[in-house]
Structure 1
Amino acid sequence: MARRARPGRPGPVAARRPGVELVTDEVTAPQFRHDRPGTPAADWSSTVGSLPTTALPQGRSRLVVVGAHPDDETLGAGGLVHTAASAGLRVEVVTATAGEGSHPSSPTHPPGRLAEVRRAELRRATSLLAPGAEVACLDLPDGDVAAHEEELVAVLVEMIGTDGADVVLCAPWRRDGHPDHEAVGRAAATAAHRTDAQLLEYPVWLWHWGRPDDLSGSDVVRLPLAPAAVAAKRAAVAAHASQVRPLSSAPGDEVLLGPDLLAHFGREVEVFVTGGPGTEDDTLDRVHRERPDPWDVGSFYERRKRALTLAALPREHYASALEVGCSVGELAVDLATRCDRLLAVDSSPAAVDLARGRTAGIEGLEVRRARVPDEWPEGRHDLVSVSEVGYFLSPHGLAELVRLCRDSLTDDGHLLLCHWRHQPVGWPLAGPAVHDAFLATGAPVLVEHHEPDFLLHVLGRPS
């Protein structure tokens, strides 16, 4: 647990086309210090004891636990780690930083040396909780994780992959009061949203600075721990010696986690938040707010791709069309020349505003904000277009999109698909996987076009 940190701030995503940024919120952390009196563990006993109990999540075979610093994973979820490993789950532990900032005034342990010590402690503690577990340290700067939040999202999404429905992702609570903890919590919530992983959040600093009322408004549960899990957690906490014992007798090397703090983590239960604030992944909205033409629609690549897309349509004219993911409306302008009525939707308010400006005055064309697949528009269409949007959905979201597109097509309708072939950074799906999901329905393939950078299909309605 790093103790001294700067407040979080948003940062850009390093992504290839589509290039995107991750939206984060500035967080005002509660004012507290580790070396001053906090809420006694006894004050939490009644609240913790009255929480509903839970068990190890069923139907999942992987547990990914992420912390901001070495020891977070042990303090907040060490019992869960031991319980999951004992039940045969594959366990992976990742820490965002090496915790090199925990003793900034140490005369014996400069940051580089302390980082080495804490990485070794992390490996030792994890081996006591889950022998054979995979352990990774990302070495992001201690105290400044928020500036690298999008990198952490990308790492977690890549770790989870397309099998998120098989994963429990456990991370610090997004309201824990420490900027690094909250940044890791936000990144994990975004990764869970994009991959369909089940999210559990564990408080760490809340127990010290907070009061029982601070848990109100959240769905909170307690996981009873078997005696073996309690013992393993106790040993794992002790393995983080740089935090639970002084580094030396010199000033600046004082113990960070004293007995009063550790008392919060000696319970025979662990507490998790299961229903935190919903994750509004506004990445693409920010892209459109900051860059009115994020995809460079006037480039030769985009102009040629649109021309091929229009040329691939087997019918000269359509009665009613739906475009999913219209962005700034450039393709909608072209599709409108081939349709009596066109409804173009996008989840981004900024994109919808841009598209409405671009398409103003075009008869029969409506632009509407809708978050697909949850806000699917009613009606049936003889043309549905899904272009450069499928890989921004989770695997479950994509499956729902496939179903809704099928159900919205008329018997003689056409489904138009066009996607970039490469892997967007920070999302689990790529264009080929999107097209494969639609092809798996058995829909007749009317047009198929492959290029190094994009795929184009026109499908009929599955029987």
Structure 2
Amino acid sequence: MNDIRHPAARRIAAPRIAPAVWQSWLGRHVRVCREPLLDPSRRLVVIAPHPDDEVLACALLMQQHAACGGALHLVAVTDGEASHGETGQGVRWLARLRDSERCAGLARLHLLHMPITRLHLPDGGVAQAGSRLHAALQQLLRPGDTLLTTWRLDGHPDHECCGRVAADLAWRLGLELLQAPVWMWHWASPGAPGIPWQRLCALPATRQAVRAKIAALRAHHSQWLPRSPQLPPVLDDAIIERAHWQHEYFFV
């Protein structure tokens, strides 16, 4: 199945392409944003499907925007309570743990002051609650905002729903929209047809900002550690390696 419009083509499994191969190809084929990607006068509204997605998707951009004096607002779509669903651990306990990990991660990015709107939508069921997401965002957004969320074809259904809803609202309200691939790197291949590579932009960052991103990701202990003797961590080696990249990538 090669047509990425078909969900089977976007199934998340073991990474097909090593991060180093991706990095080499991206360095030759994707344009680098030399100017700030965002106007500091715009509020950046980050729509994160799960705790840690704001780190994986845009920790470097959030740091850059804050350093320029830009305002930020985080929309926590779900509590991430389903990440250990197979283990039988309590969802309430896990939701509280993941929220505390999120706060610790934001502190390591020096972004603990960022306002957070928690929607408590069902982890793994955002698509079924899409109308609630749409309504909540419509109340929150204001003219001049820039939206940032996961790509509408990222592979994870929650990520994809956030991407679709954000795209609809950006179109309706005339807002700028950035979409970050998070899981795409697992199932796609360099130059694959159907992916709008011409719209992909690389945002460079300082080594200090990358170190802060890794520290923020390490705060999400529940995702780094094996979920059970039979289940590996949610964040596999490829994701960790990609988090060390000196660039973040956005469809613009």
Both proteins in one fold, TM over 0.5 = yes
Q: 1:148 — aligned with what?
A: 129
Change (3 A) 1:52 1:218: closer
> Paired residue for 1:169?
147
Does residue 242 (structure 1) correspond to residue 242 (structure 2)? The answer is: no
- How far residue 176 of structure 1 moved from its aligned partner, in angstroms, is 0.5
C-alpha deviation, 1:37, in angstroms: 4.4
**Any conservation in 1 of the 2:16–2:186 contact (CA below 8 Å)?**
yes
The AA in structure 1 aligned to 2:121 is L
Match of 2:92 in 1: 112
**Higher Rg:** 1
Inter-partner Cα distance in structure 2 for 1:115 and 1:181: 18
- 1:74 corresponds in structure 2 to 55
- Alpha-carbon deviation of 1:64? 0.7
Q: TM-score, normalised by structure 1?
A: 0.49
Q: Deviations over 1:401-438 (max 9, x none)?
A: xxxxxxxxxxxxxxxxxxxxxxxxxxxxxxxxxxxxxx
SS at match of 1:213: coil
* Partners of 2:11 and 2:77 in 1: CA distance: 23
2:11 is aligned with 1:28:
no
For residue 78 of structure 1, give the secondary structure of its aligned residue in structure 2. Answer: helix
1:200 equivalent in structure 2: 178
Q: Which residue of 1 aligns with 2:31?
A: 52
TM-score by length of 2: 0.88
- Runs of 5+ in structure 1 lacking a partner? 1-25, 275-463
1:182 aligns with 2:160: yes
Partner of 1:213: 191
Counterpart Cα distance in 1 of 2:87 and 2:48: 23
CA distance in 1, matches of 2:152, 2:83: 21
Residue 243 of structure 1: CA displacement?
0.6
Cα distance in structure 1, aligned partners of 2:181 and 2:125? 19
Residues 273 and 37 of structure 1: CA distance in aligned 2, closer, same or farther (over 3 Å): closer
Query: How far apart, CA to CA, are the structure 1 residues paired with 2:175 and 2:230?
Result: 41
> CA–CA distance in 2 between the matches of 1:252 and 1:137?
32
> Contact 1:123–1:135 at 8 Å: present in 2 too?
no
* Inter-partner Cα distance in structure 2 for 1:203 and 1:37: 14
| Structure 1 Cα separation of the partners of residues 15 and 161 of structure 2 | 25
- Is contact 1:39–1:211 with CA below 8 Å preserved after alignment? yes
| Contact in 2 for aligned 1:82/1:232 (Cα 8 Å) | no
Instruction: Name the residue aligned to 1:328.
Output: none
Match of 1:256 in 2: 234
Asked if structure 2 preserves the Cα contact closer than 8 Å seen for 1:172 and 1:185, the reply is yes
Please give the alpha-carbon distance, in whole angstroms, between the structure 1 residues aligned to 2:76 and 2:198. Answer: 25
The question of whether the paired residues in 2 share the 8 Å contact of 1:106 and 1:252 is answered with no
- CA deviation vs aligned residue, 1:330-355 (integer Å, no higher than 9, x gap): xxxxxxxxxxxxxxxxxxxxxxxxxx
Select 1:136's aligned residue among 99, 117, 128.
Answer: 117
Which protein has the bigger helix share?
2
Alignment root-mean-square deviation, CA: 1.9
Change (3 A) 1:159 1:213: same
Q: Which amino acid aligns with 2:213?
A: K
1:352 aligns with none
More contact order relative to length (CA 8 Å, sep ≥ 6) = 2
SS at match of 1:105: helix
Which among 71, 94, 97 is matched to residue 78 of structure 2? 97
The 8 Å contact of residues 223 and 235 in structure 2, kept in 1 or not, is answered as yes
Report the CA distance between 1:59 and its aligned residue. 5.6
Aligned to 1:230: 210
1:137-167 Cα distance to aligned partner (Å, 9 max, x none): 2111111111111211222222112x2x2x2
Question: Post-superposition shift, 1:132?
Answer: 0.9
Distance of aligned partners of 1:220 and 1:205 in 2 relative to their CA distance in 1, 3 Å threshold: same
Distance 1:119 1:90, change over 3 A: same
CA distance in structure 1 between the aligned counterparts of 2:175 and 2:40, rounded to whole angstroms: 12
Residues 121, 241 of structure 1: 8 Å contact kept: yes
Runs of 4+ off more than 3 Å = 214-218
Maintained 8 Å contact 2:38/2:65: no
% identical equivalent positions: 34
